[in-house]
Structure 1
């Protein structure tokens, strides 16, 4: 299912609640509460993601309650005041939306979340159409894979690929920790094997006991 690196499409949630750009403030708030989500993708046309509305976007209205939403102040909080005066998804949303492609790896999705400081990402296809949603929790699911499945992937995608003539090499996985053992013809390939094994979905860490075969006298 996962293979090396693990694709976002394998862990994303496919049932997604989304909004049109004309959705009103109260409709957005009700939808968030009903579905227990903190952010919603905003769509146009044939399901293309154009933005995201979050709880923070809605809370600007409360933050600036009693002030002129069209004004500014000495702190230059113009963006927040704009959100305070917004009444539709089009006005409230953050755009362009921070998304991830369905073919991206789980690691790539995690890096985007960390860099952009978001908890979930709309998942899109090549045309920008919504295909799902992936959250931090979804990304952690990959570490629940069975050790046997991880070992099979490491054997197929790493050892058999790099060392097709060395069937005696072994891979052991315990709680996601991979140990590679055996003798290999080239020490440089042992280093590559360790790096590749770390890209297999569900791997927590890799220990290499691969040793180079002594050259013939």
Structure 2
């Protein structure tokens, strides 16, 4: 399995959407057909201008005024909360949590829809094999964190938990290593047991 780091690595590229003129009944039918609870609403040039959700539809259905909202453009929530395909998985997860959303439209640099990412998509990173995670951790430690030959760090990964042990040339490096390893996609927790040289 390749390294899963960005939204582009895990998102659904075939994203269903509606335009601003799509009527109430057609929105409901599209949601049912694709088994989704919300749809991006696009402008004529493909930019995401809002999102219409089941909650928006239910609120619209309760409106009995003569000028009640009946189209996606009238019913949608705007501006849409979106994420770029280059965003990290962690950043997308934080955005979803902060905005209490189950899915996000994914846009390119011009704001055009290129996919959708869901909570389930973001959790794919935790399906990485332990061996892949271990290999990435070893490469991280060897080539980026600790000068070659100055430490002996052993890595074992089980069920996403990274166990690190061995020796470090400087006690201050332990926190650096643990924090960095914790950012490796698929790592659930980090357990470290290092020895360091005694103070002179």
Correspondence list, 1:28-177, <5 A? 28-64=27-63, 67-68=64-65, 85-166=68-149, 168-177=152-161
Question: What runs of 5+ residues in structure 1 fail to find an aligned partner?
Answer: 71-84
Which one is further off, 44-53 or 206-215?
Answer: 206-215
Distance change in 2, residues 1:20/1:187 (3 Å): same
| Contact in 1 for aligned 2:133/2:157 (Cα 8 Å) | yes
Task: Supply the distance in 2 between the matched residues of 1:170 and 1:164 (Cα, whole angstroms).
Answer: 15
Partner Cα distance (2:85, 2:96) in 1: 15
- For residue 152 of structure 1, report the CA deviation from its aligned partner: 0.9
Tell me the alpha carbon deviations over residues 13-50 of structure 1, each in whole angstroms, 9 at most, x when there is no partner. 11100111111111111101111111000111332111
Preserved CA contact (<8 Å) 2:19 2:44? no
- Asked if structure 2 preserves the Cα contact closer than 8 Å seen for 1:190 and 1:211, the reply is no
RMSD: 1.6
Task: Please give the alpha-carbon distance, in whole angstroms, between the structure 2 residues aligned to 1:176 and 1:69.
Answer: 57
Name the SS for the 1:179 alignment partner: strand
Bigger mean CA deviation after superposition, 159-168 or 141-150: 159-168
Return the TM-score normalized by structure 1: 0.85
Q: How many angstroms does 1:69 deviate by?
A: 6.0
1:189 to 173, 176, 180: 173
Separation in 1, partners of 2:66, 2:152: 71
2:185 to 182, 195, 201: 201
Which residue in the other structure is 1:82 paired with?
A: none
Q: Does the CA contact (< 8 Å) of 2:53 and 2:76 recur in 1?
A: yes
Q: Give the TM-score of the pair, scaled to structure 2.
A: 0.92
CA separation in 2, counterparts of 1:69 and 1:175? 58
| Paired residues, number | 198
**Distance between the aligned counterparts of 1:174 and 1:165, measured in 2?**
26
After TM superposition, give the deviation of residue 160 of structure 1 in Å: 2.9
